[in-house]
């Protein structure tokens, strides 16, 4: 395999995932502005994070390429790819859980405030 082909095989998936993330993020932001009269900053942040979840596979792919390059040059491995993937996914899930908990708490407060009025 030539160097150009190898470079294309490593960069094209990342470019496609990046464009998909940008598209999903932009679409969700546009839809939230159109459907909600006053979207909350937390909701906008949540849509942004949800739209950019495509970055997680990109990060795993980047680690895999770095691991392959380091192994070919120095003969060392950083850590198993499956362990890195699990760590990244657990951290991503924890971040999403925090934002969903905040959004639910904010929705409950708004509902309680509307019931009091």
In tens, the pLDDT along 2-37 reads: 766 766 777 677 778 767 777 777 777 777 667 666
- pLDDT in the model for residue 41: 67
C-beta separation of 77 from 67 below 8 A: yes
pLDDT (0 to 100) of residue 83: 93
Q: Each residue of 43-102: pLDDT tens digit?
A: 666 666 666 666 777 777 778 877 887 787 778 888 998 999 899 889 888 887 887 888
Measured CA to CA, the distance from residue 28 to residue 30 in angstroms comes to 5
What six digits make up the tokens of 86? 């699990």
pTM: 0.55
Q: Is the dihedral of CA 83, 86, 88, 94 positive or negative?
A: negative
- In the chain, the N- to C-terminal Cα span, in Å, equals 69
């Amino acid at each position: 395999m030539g160097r150009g082909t190898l470079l294309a095989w490593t960069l094209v998936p990342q470019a496609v995932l990046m464009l998909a993330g940008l598209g999903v993020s932009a679409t969700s932001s546009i839809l939230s502005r159109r459907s909600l009269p006053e979207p909350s900053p937390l909701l906008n942040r949540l849509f942004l994070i949800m739209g950019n979840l495509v970055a997680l596979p990109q990060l795993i792919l980047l680690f895999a390429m770095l691991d392959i390059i380091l192994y070919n040059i120095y003969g060392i491995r950083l850590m198993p790819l499956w362990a890195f993937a699990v760590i990244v996914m657990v951290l991503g899930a924890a971040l999403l859980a925090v934002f969903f908990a905040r959004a639910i708490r904010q929705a409950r407060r708004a509902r309680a405030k509307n019931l009091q009025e």
